[in-house]
Structure 1
């Protein structure tokens, strides 16, 4: 396998000049750069894509920055992105922001340095100036799942799901089961998905004449621990909710842990539903009722939109509907809907059983 010294000898330049030429350093003359590229081609130094990318200004590489690689939703999204990109002749480099804006910026800088052709991002915590600056500087960018509101001067397509109809269907489903005191574990308000799901839940409750008291809004961060803390606070209320809607799957798992740690049972003592269905939910006891996003379709559509933009075609935003998947975590199939059993522990602080006060 030829090395950089072989390229330098063939081109009649120093090793340092070869390195600078391959990194497009402005100090390298066009004549030297041409000889280096020719030597790279002749010797087959590294994949030929290196030299080709220098000539065409393309690397056939996409960047993907996701919010949390441990979240099964984003894992599935990343897989769909990689498969679709590969089918179109592109590779993907993935960065995990771990819901941290500083890590998101780190990955964006790294990907830009690697001369990606385009960038897919699910912005964390409302995004950062660097993300918008990257789009303004000419790097093709597509937002997937989340987006940055108010960025009207940046033409960035958004590929996402719309869960409002599914949330309305969920609330109607809970209402039919007899649940009236409904709480939500919300994601970060700075994220579009965090704020949008709370708004949709509040609107759906209002359609049934129900309110969403501040005490029934638990602030989470799309992590399991925050779901556990919010649910513990709900259970400590003098009048705890009858049903909890977790705005993502990890927070739902945290909520389930909190309920079980109190010796309570889902759905007998409290109902539980989640946004973002995952394969695990069919294996929990009981299986969790959830809102499912078309994750694979979102990933594939995002790649197609980005490649359209890279290759000079018109790219459009895409919105796909989410759907409600009914299982057994809200009291489905039990006589009396959401009514708890006569015996056994119930949520609350006191020793007296908590009574339902359904309007």
Structure 2
């Protein structure tokens, strides 16, 4: 493989001149620049990224650790992060935690060993020694969607509280009074926020939330099935079910079909985190949508600010400097019944 000295010899210039051309410096004559670029093309020269990183102490690489690559929300988020990073001249290495803290910490340490410039993380449930160590040591790091309480790390997230309140109002307007919820993992920051918003909205409309209408889930399809099975063996089953995650909602729909129940004729169904699949189910599922692409783009912007400037340059929302809070919104479809919005 040709090196920079071969390019210099082929073009009849010094190694320093080749370096100036490749780095876009001015002060190089146009005919010289043309000879160097022609030599680069002829020899198929590629700069040595490792050598460059040793000189600059940067690898132009970001790490992304997501909770579950099989969840369509995180798949779309990873795509948005990769697109935004590429537009800024960075590559991305992705690690899938599979909702396991130990696996997450393994990915974090591996990425840091590879000298990534910064780290984006949507943490799995539970305390993370590796993330706490990274935060204390000053590694450029940004949380996206989820977070760990007590760590002074910028967070890019969507606030779904208003959308959850709108969902409860939508269900109430359609005549539903017995409304159940399927939660996520006990220590999940996002799940806990959604449950609090749901309780608050029910209280506002004068609706109870008995313990038997709370299904414990884990953001996986099987837990949605199990919760639905428990709900519909009750003497007075719910009229509507809100799953705090998209995969659990699909599990609910599967179980309802197994039980011979129809959506929305027998029970209404809604979910947090809209995904493309929801348009193609029968009926299409009402969902709360997060601005996933913008979350990914804002997260990359915040992280590259930390990498390149040492501090955030973007406007701050609540919490740590550099944090940004966006808004989620309700998309009403036929799975809860029909009103003016679902008929449009």
What TM-score does the superposition give when structure 2 sets the normalisation length? 0.82
Q: CA RMSD in A?
A: 1.7
Contact 2:105 2:129 (C-alpha < 8 Å) held by counterparts: no
Contact 2:174 2:339 (C-alpha < 8 Å) held by counterparts: no
Give the C-alpha shift of residue 44 in structure 1. 10
* 2:85 matches 1:105: no
* 2:78 matches 1:72: no
Size of the aligned set, in residue pairs, is 292
Distance in 1 of aligned mates of 2:100 and 2:47: 34
Written as runs of structure 1 = structure 2, the 5 A alignment for 1:183-332 is 183-315=180-312, 316-332=322-338
Written as runs of structure 1 = structure 2, the 5 A alignment for 1:19-98 is 47-98=47-98
Distance in 2 of aligned mates of 1:59 and 1:230: 46
Contact 1:143 1:159 (C-alpha < 8 Å) held by counterparts: yes
Contact 2:217 2:227 (C-alpha < 8 Å) held by counterparts: yes
Instruction: Give the structure 2 partner of residue 166 of structure 1.
Output: 163
Match of 1:189, SS state, is coil
Distance in 1 of aligned mates of 2:337 and 2:67: 33
Match of 1:147, SS state, is coil
Distance in 2 of aligned mates of 1:75 and 1:260: 27
Instruction: Give the structure 1 partner of residue 146 of structure 2.
Output: 146
Cα distance per residue 1:54-102 (max 9 Å; x no partner) = 1111100000000000000000000000000000010000000010111
Contact 1:126 1:147 (C-alpha < 8 Å) held by counterparts: no
**What stretches of structure 2 of length at least 5 have no aligned partner?**
4-42, 313-321
Distance in 2 of aligned mates of 1:127 and 1:161: 22
Give the C-alpha shift of residue 213 in structure 1. 1.1
Distance in 2 of aligned mates of 1:328 and 1:282: 10
**What stretches of structure 1 of length at least 5 have no aligned partner?**
4-42, 335-359
Give the C-alpha shift of residue 126 in structure 1. 3.3
Give the C-alpha shift of residue 224 in structure 1. 0.5
Displaced runs of 4+ in structure 1, greater than 4 A? 43-47
What TM-score does the superposition give when structure 1 sets the normalisation length? 0.79
Instruction: Give the structure 1 partner of residue 177 of structure 2.
Output: 180
Contact 1:126 1:192 (C-alpha < 8 Å) held by counterparts: no
